[in-house]
Amino acid sequence: MTETTNNTVTDERADLLQTLAKHRHFLRFTTRDLTDEQAGQRTTASELCLGGLIKHVTSTERGWANFIEQGTSAMPDFDSVTEADYARRADDFRMLPGETLEDVLAAYEEVANRTDELVAKLPDLNASHPLPKAPWFEPDAQWSARRVLLHIIAETAQHAGHADIIRESLDGQKSMG
Protein backbone atom coordinates (compact mmCIF):
# COMPACT_ATOMS: atom_id res chain seq x y z
CA MET A 1 0.00 0.00 0.00
CA THR A 2 1.18 3.47 -0.83
CA GLU A 3 1.66 5.77 2.09
CA THR A 4 1.95 9.50 1.78
CA THR A 5 3.07 11.93 4.41
CA ASN A 6 2.70 15.64 3.68
CA ASN A 7 2.38 14.82 -0.04
CA THR A 8 5.58 12.75 0.08
CA VAL A 9 5.51 9.26 -1.40
CA THR A 10 7.07 6.85 1.11
CA ASP A 11 7.11 3.39 -0.47
CA GLU A 12 8.78 1.76 -3.48
CA ARG A 13 7.41 4.59 -5.58
CA ALA A 14 9.76 7.00 -3.84
CA ASP A 15 12.74 4.92 -4.98
CA LEU A 16 11.43 4.81 -8.54
CA LEU A 17 10.73 8.55 -8.63
CA GLN A 18 14.09 9.46 -7.05
CA THR A 19 15.95 7.30 -9.56
CA LEU A 20 14.01 8.79 -12.46
CA ALA A 21 14.61 12.31 -11.12
CA LYS A 22 18.37 11.68 -10.98
CA HIS A 23 18.52 10.57 -14.61
CA ARG A 24 16.24 13.40 -15.73
CA HIS A 25 18.62 15.82 -14.03
CA PHE A 26 21.64 14.43 -15.88
CA LEU A 27 19.77 14.63 -19.19
CA ARG A 28 18.68 18.24 -18.64
CA PHE A 29 22.11 19.19 -17.26
CA THR A 30 23.71 18.42 -20.62
CA THR A 31 21.94 21.48 -22.05
CA ARG A 32 23.17 24.00 -19.46
CA ASP A 33 24.26 27.32 -20.93
CA LEU A 34 23.54 26.29 -24.54
CA THR A 35 21.92 28.35 -27.26
CA ASP A 36 19.03 26.99 -29.32
CA GLU A 37 21.44 26.53 -32.22
CA GLN A 38 23.84 24.48 -30.09
CA ALA A 39 20.97 22.36 -28.74
CA GLY A 40 20.07 21.47 -32.32
CA GLN A 41 23.61 20.78 -33.50
CA ARG A 42 24.68 17.26 -34.45
CA THR A 43 28.15 16.44 -33.14
CA THR A 44 28.40 12.75 -34.06
CA ALA A 45 27.66 10.62 -37.11
CA SER A 46 24.12 10.03 -35.82
CA GLU A 47 21.10 12.30 -36.31
CA LEU A 48 20.99 12.99 -32.56
CA CYS A 49 21.24 16.41 -30.99
CA LEU A 50 20.66 17.45 -27.38
CA GLY A 51 17.31 19.13 -27.98
CA GLY A 52 16.17 16.17 -30.06
CA LEU A 53 17.15 13.68 -27.37
CA ILE A 54 15.10 15.58 -24.81
CA LYS A 55 12.17 15.75 -27.25
CA HIS A 56 12.44 11.99 -27.79
CA VAL A 57 12.57 11.22 -24.06
CA THR A 58 9.60 13.55 -23.53
CA SER A 59 7.57 11.82 -26.22
CA THR A 60 8.53 8.36 -25.00
CA GLU A 61 7.68 9.13 -21.37
CA ARG A 62 4.37 10.71 -22.39
CA GLY A 63 3.47 7.60 -24.42
CA TRP A 64 4.31 5.19 -21.62
CA ALA A 65 2.43 7.28 -19.04
CA ASN A 66 -0.58 7.16 -21.36
CA PHE A 67 -0.11 3.39 -21.57
CA ILE A 68 -0.21 3.11 -17.76
CA GLU A 69 -3.45 5.08 -17.67
CA GLN A 70 -5.21 3.90 -20.83
CA GLY A 71 -3.68 0.55 -21.67
CA THR A 72 -2.98 -0.77 -25.12
CA SER A 73 -5.22 1.77 -26.83
CA ALA A 74 -2.65 4.47 -26.00
CA MET A 75 -0.10 2.92 -28.38
CA PRO A 76 -0.68 1.80 -31.95
CA ASP A 77 0.09 -1.70 -33.16
CA PHE A 78 3.19 -1.79 -35.35
CA ASP A 79 1.10 -2.92 -38.33
CA SER A 80 -0.93 0.29 -38.26
CA VAL A 81 2.05 2.67 -38.25
CA THR A 82 2.35 4.65 -41.51
CA GLU A 83 5.28 6.32 -43.24
CA ALA A 84 3.88 9.64 -42.05
CA ASP A 85 3.99 8.32 -38.48
CA TYR A 86 7.65 7.39 -38.95
CA ALA A 87 8.41 10.85 -40.31
CA ARG A 88 6.73 12.50 -37.30
CA ARG A 89 8.65 10.20 -34.98
CA ALA A 90 11.92 11.15 -36.68
CA ASP A 91 11.15 14.81 -35.85
CA ASP A 92 11.39 13.84 -32.16
CA PHE A 93 15.14 13.44 -32.63
CA ARG A 94 15.94 16.92 -33.91
CA MET A 95 15.20 20.54 -33.21
CA LEU A 96 12.81 21.86 -35.83
CA PRO A 97 12.70 25.45 -37.10
CA GLY A 98 11.09 27.68 -34.49
CA GLU A 99 11.67 25.27 -31.60
CA THR A 100 13.62 26.60 -28.65
CA LEU A 101 15.56 24.77 -25.99
CA GLU A 102 13.48 26.58 -23.38
CA ASP A 103 10.26 25.20 -24.90
CA VAL A 104 11.72 21.68 -25.22
CA LEU A 105 12.76 21.71 -21.56
CA ALA A 106 9.38 23.10 -20.47
CA ALA A 107 7.56 20.31 -22.31
CA TYR A 108 9.83 17.75 -20.65
CA GLU A 109 9.14 19.28 -17.22
CA GLU A 110 5.39 19.13 -17.87
CA VAL A 111 5.54 15.45 -18.84
CA ALA A 112 7.82 14.66 -15.90
CA ASN A 113 5.40 16.30 -13.46
CA ARG A 114 2.49 14.38 -14.94
CA THR A 115 4.35 11.07 -14.67
CA ASP A 116 5.39 11.79 -11.08
CA GLU A 117 1.79 12.60 -10.11
CA LEU A 118 0.58 9.45 -11.86
CA VAL A 119 3.09 7.27 -10.02
CA ALA A 120 2.19 8.81 -6.68
CA LYS A 121 -1.53 8.20 -7.20
CA LEU A 122 -1.49 4.76 -8.83
CA PRO A 123 -3.52 2.33 -6.76
CA ASP A 124 -1.35 -0.63 -7.79
CA LEU A 125 2.08 -0.82 -9.44
CA ASN A 126 1.23 -4.40 -10.44
CA ALA A 127 -1.68 -3.34 -12.66
CA SER A 128 -0.79 -4.42 -16.17
CA HIS A 129 -1.90 -4.06 -19.77
CA PRO A 130 -1.11 -6.08 -22.88
CA LEU A 131 1.60 -4.51 -25.00
CA PRO A 132 0.72 -3.49 -28.55
CA LYS A 133 1.86 -5.77 -31.34
CA ALA A 134 5.41 -4.89 -32.42
CA PRO A 135 8.46 -6.92 -33.45
CA TRP A 136 10.38 -5.69 -30.40
CA PHE A 137 7.80 -6.97 -27.88
CA GLU A 138 7.19 -10.60 -26.99
CA PRO A 139 3.88 -11.83 -28.42
CA ASP A 140 1.04 -11.53 -25.90
CA ALA A 141 3.29 -9.84 -23.32
CA GLN A 142 1.90 -7.61 -20.61
CA TRP A 143 3.72 -4.92 -18.69
CA SER A 144 2.83 -3.75 -15.22
CA ALA A 145 3.00 -0.09 -14.28
CA ARG A 146 6.19 -0.97 -12.38
CA ARG A 147 7.76 -2.50 -15.51
CA VAL A 148 6.80 0.58 -17.55
CA LEU A 149 8.40 2.87 -14.96
CA LEU A 150 11.58 0.80 -15.01
CA HIS A 151 11.57 1.13 -18.80
CA ILE A 152 11.16 4.93 -18.57
CA ILE A 153 14.09 5.05 -16.14
CA ALA A 154 16.24 2.92 -18.46
CA GLU A 155 15.35 5.07 -21.50
CA THR A 156 16.13 8.25 -19.63
CA ALA A 157 19.46 6.94 -18.30
CA GLN A 158 20.51 5.61 -21.70
CA HIS A 159 19.74 8.89 -23.43
CA ALA A 160 21.41 10.92 -20.67
CA GLY A 161 24.58 9.01 -21.54
CA HIS A 162 24.10 9.76 -25.23
CA ALA A 163 23.55 13.42 -24.36
CA ASP A 164 26.75 13.50 -22.34
CA ILE A 165 28.72 12.28 -25.37
CA ILE A 166 27.04 14.82 -27.64
CA ARG A 167 27.72 17.67 -25.20
CA GLU A 168 31.36 16.71 -24.80
CA SER A 169 31.71 16.59 -28.59
CA LEU A 170 30.01 19.97 -28.86
CA ASP A 171 32.20 22.01 -26.54
CA GLY A 172 34.17 19.71 -24.26
CA GLN A 173 31.79 20.07 -21.31
CA LYS A 174 30.97 16.90 -19.37
CA SER A 175 27.84 16.16 -17.40
CA MET A 176 28.64 12.94 -15.65
CA GLY A 177 32.37 12.62 -15.30
Q: What is the DSSP string of 46-77?
A: SS--HHHHHHHHHHHHHHHHHHHHHGGGGS--
Per-residue pLDDT of 52-80, as tens digits, reads 999 999 999 999 999 999 999 998 778 87
Burial degree of 64 (CB within 10 A; 0-12, 13-18, 19+)? buried
User: How far apart are the C-alpha atoms of 20 and 151, rounded to whole Å?
Assistant: 10
Per-residue pLDDT of 3-25, as tens digits, reads 444 445 668 999 999 999 999 99
User: How far apart are the C-alpha atoms of 55 and 28, rounded to whole Å?
Assistant: 11
User: How far apart are the C-alpha atoms of 113 and 26, rounded to whole Å?
Assistant: 17
Whether this prediction's pTM lies above 0.85 is answered by yes
The kind and range of the H/E element at 9 are: strand 8-9
Is it the case that residue 139 has pLDDT exceeding 70?
yes
User: How far apart are the C-alpha atoms of 131 and 101, rounded to whole Å?
Assistant: 32
The top-level CATH class assigned to 14-171 is mainly alpha
Helix, strand, coil share (%) of the chain residues, nearest 5: 60, 5, 35
Per-residue pLDDT of 89-98, as tens digits, reads 888 899 999 9
Give the range among 7-16, 29-38, 57-66, 139-148 with minimum mean pLDDT.
7-16
Read off the pLDDT of each residue in 120-149 and give the average, rounded to a whole number.
94
